[in-house]
Amino acid sequence: MNRKTVLIVFCVATLLLLVFGLIFELRSLRRYAVEITSGDWDAGKHVTLGELKLNYTKKAESTAAPPRPTSVLGNIIDQQLNYGSRTRVLTRTNWNAPIMWEGMYNPKLYDEYHKTRGTTVAMTVFAAGKYLDAYLRKFLISAELHFMVGFPVTYYVFTDAPENVPDIQLAEDRKLKVIKIEKRYHWPEISMVRMRIIADFIKSELHDPKQFIFCMDVDQEFVGRFGSEALGDSVALLHAHFYKRSLREFTYDRNPKSRAYMNEGDFYYHAAIFGGSLQNVKKLTEACDEAMMADKTNGVEALWQDESHLNKYFWINKPSKLLSPEYCWDRSIGDRRDIFVERLMWAPKDYERLRTYG
C-alpha cells in the first residue's frame, strides 16, 4: 500500500469518526430540555421577551402523564413552563395542558407578554341575597390588592340589591359595574341561573377580542398574587378537596337520567372559578345552561347543579389550562405540603344562615 492510499484511508477514517461523534452528541442533547433557570427568575434578570436566558439543563423527572398531541398550544410564555420544578404534583395533563403551580413560571414574563398584547380582564361575580353583605366587600377589596394587578379590570357584580353594593376605591383603569338580577328564593336556582346570565351578558356586552373573563364565587378572599399566568383560552380549577383523590371518589353526577351524568373522567373541577376567552366561556355557559334546562324539563337536577354540568363539559371539551388548588385553597384541609403559595382562599361558610331568604 503506497503513501497516497494510506493517506486516503486515514482521511476517510477520521471523517467517519467525526460523523459518529456528531451523531452521539446530538442524541445526548435530545435528553436535555431548554428551560429558563429559576435562579434568573429570583434575581429578576433577563425578563424581557427578547432577552430570555436559556440554558441546557437536564430535565427533571415529572409526575405528569405522558403528553399527547393537542390543538391547544397556548401562548409563547406557556411554552417556557418548567414542568419539572414540582416533582410531588402533576404539572401537565395527558392532553398537554399545563397545571399551574408556584415555581413553574416567571410571573414577570407573563405580565410583560400580556401588557404588550393589550390584554384586559373582565370578572363576573354574583352577590345575591345575604351573600352580598357577608362577602362582597372583602372579596372586592382583596381583589384590588391581588387580582391581575397592573391590568385593566372590570368587575361585573350581579345582584338583586344594587343599592347595597359597597363603594370600593379602585386603582387606575379598573372599574366596577353593577347589574341587577331577579330575586331568587332558593339557592340551587341561583346557582343554576348564572350560566344563562353570563352567556347572555357576554353576547350582548363583551366583544373585545383581547379580553379574557373569569367567573368567580363571591365567598372567597384573595390573599396572594392571582396574575396573568392564570389567563388562557379555556381555564378550569382543580378542586382543593379532590385533586389527590381517586376517580371513584369524585362527586360526579352518577344519575344516568341527568345530562351531567359521568361514569368516567380525569379531574374534578371546582365551579368557584372558571374562565378563558370570551368566545370559549360563552360556549361553556351556553352548553351548561342548555343541559340544565333539559334536565329541568325531565324533572332532574344534577347533584351539584352547575358544577356537575361544568365537569361534564370539561370532560368533553378539554380546558387549555388548569389552575392548581393554590388558586383556591381551603385552609380546613390538613395536608398543605403541595401549597407553596395561597392565592385565593375559601371564606368561612354558614350555609344554614346564608341560603335562607326572607
- State yes or no: 219 annotated in a binding site: yes
Beta strands 211-216 and 120-126 are parallel
- Alpha-carbon gap, residue 274 to 319, rounded angstroms: 10
Amino acid at 275: G
Q: How many CB atoms lie within 10 A of CB 142?
A: 19
Residues with Cβ within 8 Å of 312's Cβ and at least 6 positions away in sequence, in order, are 252, 253, 259, 260, 261, 262, 291
Pairing type for strands 211-216 and 269-277 reads: antiparallel
CB 338 within 8 Å of CB 89: yes
Q: What share of the chain is helix, strand, coil (3-state, %, to 5)?
A: 40, 20, 45
Give the DSSP letter of residue 213.
E
Contact 322, 237 (CB under 8 A): yes
d(CA 304, CA 301) in angstroms, rounded, equals: 8
131 marked among binding-site residues: yes
Q: Which of 102, 307, 326, 342 is catalytic?
A: 307
Separation CA 293–CA 285 (nearest Å)? 12
Asked whether residue 251 is marked as a ligand-binding residue, the answer is yes
Residue 24 main-chain phi, psi, to 5 deg: -65, -40
Enter the C-alpha cell of residue 249. 371518589
The set of residues, in sequence order, having a beta carbon less than 8 Å from that of 325 and lying 6+ positions away, is 237, 238, 239, 240, 243, 338, 339
Which of helix, strand or coil describes residue 308?
helix
Question: Which one-letter DSSP state was computed for residue 286?
Answer: H
From CA 199, how far away is CA 19, in angstroms rounded? 61
Does the annotation count 229 as an active-site position?
no
Paired residues of 174 in beta bridges: 153
Q: What are phi and psi of 94, to 5 degrees?
A: -75, 0
Residue 330 counted as an annotated binding residue: yes
* Residues tagged in the binding site annotation: 131, 217-219, 239, 251, 307, 330
Q: Which residues are catalytic?
A: 307
